[in-house]
């Protein structure tokens, strides 16, 4: 499935406040997922296999590293059994890094929220405004992202321009 996202990632100084704000907005809480994202070296874009209790998918995406709301072009294939797929991928491609996190997942309409506790990195919040079928448009996705950036009082210096994989790679 191909789709467009506009998304942000930021350090979270107070994850409890983000959870409260999402509850106040009557966000649908899908649960807390322990996820392992294995990033593979590929010629174009980024490729990761996500394995969790709630979300399991092979995800390929293109996204520029920049602060603030940024566009991602995402191809997502939902998987059932990630272990066999991981074995195949490991035999075919070098592993760049592995990111392990506890992720609380929320939705408000087409906007997905992650409140993350990432091993070795700390607390983060992500906002993903998603256009699954091309009916929303990038401009409206950016407006949605900005609305929640303001609501969560995310400061410019807290915005992260890179992926968790880049952060983990830099740590090593």
- Domain limits, the chain: 2-171
Under 8 Å between Cβ of 105 and 54: yes
Instruction: Give the angle subtended at the CA of 65 by the CAs of 63 and 71, to the nearest 5°.
Output: 40
Q: What is the pLDDT of residues 49-94, one digit of tens each?
A: 999 999 999 999 988 887 778 888 889 999 987 789 999 999 999 9
What is the pLDDT at residue 115?
A: 98
**What 3-state DSSP class applies to 145?**
helix
- Name the stretches of the chain with pLDDT < 70: 1-2
The CATH code for residues 2-171 is 2.40.320.10
Query: Distance between CA 51 and CA 59 in Å, rounded?
Result: 11
Tell me if residue 112 falls in helix, strand or coil: strand
């Amino acid at each position: 499935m191909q789709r467009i996202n506009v998304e942000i990632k930021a350090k979270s100084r107070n994850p409890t406040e983000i959870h409260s704000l999402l509850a106040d907005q009557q966000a649908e809480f899908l649960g807390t997922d322990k996820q392992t994202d294995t990033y593979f070296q590929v010629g174009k874009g980024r490729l990761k296999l996500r394995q969790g209790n709630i979300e399991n998918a092979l995800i390929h995406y293109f996204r520029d590293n920049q602060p603030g709301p940024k566009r991602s072009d995402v191809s997502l294939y939902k998987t059932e059994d990630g272990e066999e797929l991981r074995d195949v991928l490991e035999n075919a491609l070098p592993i760049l890094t592995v990111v392990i996190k506890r992720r609380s997942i929320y939705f408000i309409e087409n906007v997905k929220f992650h409140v993350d506790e990432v091993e070795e990195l700390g607390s983060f919040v992500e906002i993903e405004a998603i256009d699954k079928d091309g009916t929303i448009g990038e401009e409206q996705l950016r407006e949605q992202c900005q609305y929640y950036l303001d609501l969560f009082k995310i400061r410019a210096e807290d915005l992260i321009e890179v992926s968790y994989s880049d952060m983990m790679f830099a740590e090593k």
